[in-house]
Structure 1
């Protein structure tokens, strides 16, 4: 792996961790803007490294909140890895509208479904609106920032996409 790729991965993972400090008020304390940098990383990093950055951000955000769902956060981190991996693949393939639709549906509606079995259906219904709102906020910030960030970095430091 090139030094530039390793450095960018560390930078985006650190930004995801910092985004974990920006909490979104909800019934559970681990909702935050920790996914925005991972969404932006799709413009610069391979999909697996985008997933790693996202996973790091979620674990850090959950840690700041005191792991309110206990070991379930490991499952959520794995879900985040998979969702951002697919998101980055869609970005690289040029599916720019579908990647956002996929992210919102997968992260905001599908990923929380195991909570119904692990905790309870009532818990899922209680937190689903907050999770969906947090997903939409993360996506909205990234949608606004991504074009400007890509334009600024295009042609610099070897970034072409």
Structure 2
């Protein structure tokens, strides 16, 4: 990984921190606009970079929100990394609509499933509306920004082989 890519990933993680400060009203205070920079990184740099930004972005969001679930935020960070990786793989295979839909429903419905066993079904049901709204806002912002930033991507890869 070269210095330029590391710097850009640090920038995307910083954008996640900014998004983490914009909270969606929820039962748990870590639902925020912290994922769209990870989706941008995934679209531009691939699954690994997007996963890294997604995991760190969630941990920053949880930290800003007071870590209401404690160590369980590590599970959520891993889920976020996996979802953003799946998004990147599908997005780069030109399955852009499927990538967005799977991210939306994966983050809003599937990712909170372990909390049924850790807490109860009421907690899961209480989280669904805010997770869906937060996921929808994040994916919408990403899909608005990605086409506008492709000029940036061409500049980044100017004279380089993308790989």
Which of the five TM-score ranges fits, normalised by the shorter chain? over 0.9
Alignment check: 8 A CA contact 2:44 2:153 kept: no
Q: Provide the residue aligned with 1:67 in structure 2.
A: 67
Distance 1:157 1:148 in 2: 14
Partner of 2:90: 90
Q: Is the 8 A contact 1:36 1:141 kept in 2?
A: yes
For structure 2, the 5+ residue unaligned runs are: none
Question: Unaligned stretches of 5+ in structure 1?
Answer: none
Name the structure 2 match of 1:45. Answer: 45
Query: What displacement does 1:153 show?
Result: 1.7
TM score, norm. by length of structure 2 = 0.92
- Structure 2 distance, partners of 1:51, 1:5, is 14
User: 2: CA distance between counterparts of 1:97 and 1:70?
Assistant: 34
The aligned residue for residue 130 of structure 1 is 130
Aligned length: 160
Deviations 1:14-69 (A, max 9, x none): 11122111111111110100001111112321311110101111001111111111
Larger helix share, 1 or 2: 2
Runs (4 or more) in structure 1 with deviation over 3 Å come to none
SS at match of 2:149: helix
**Structure 2 counterpart of 1:31:** 31
Structure 1 residue 154, shift from structure 2 partner: 4.7
CA distance in 2, matches of 1:79, 1:29: 18
Q: Distance in 1 between matches of 2:154 and 2:137?
A: 29
Q: CA RMSD in A?
A: 1.6
1:91/1:99 contact within 8 Å kept: yes
Q: What secondary structure, in the 3-state scheme, does the structure 2 residue paired with 1:156 have?
A: helix
8 Å contact from structure 1 (residues 9, 45) kept in 2: no
Tell me the SS of whatever aligns to 2:155: coil
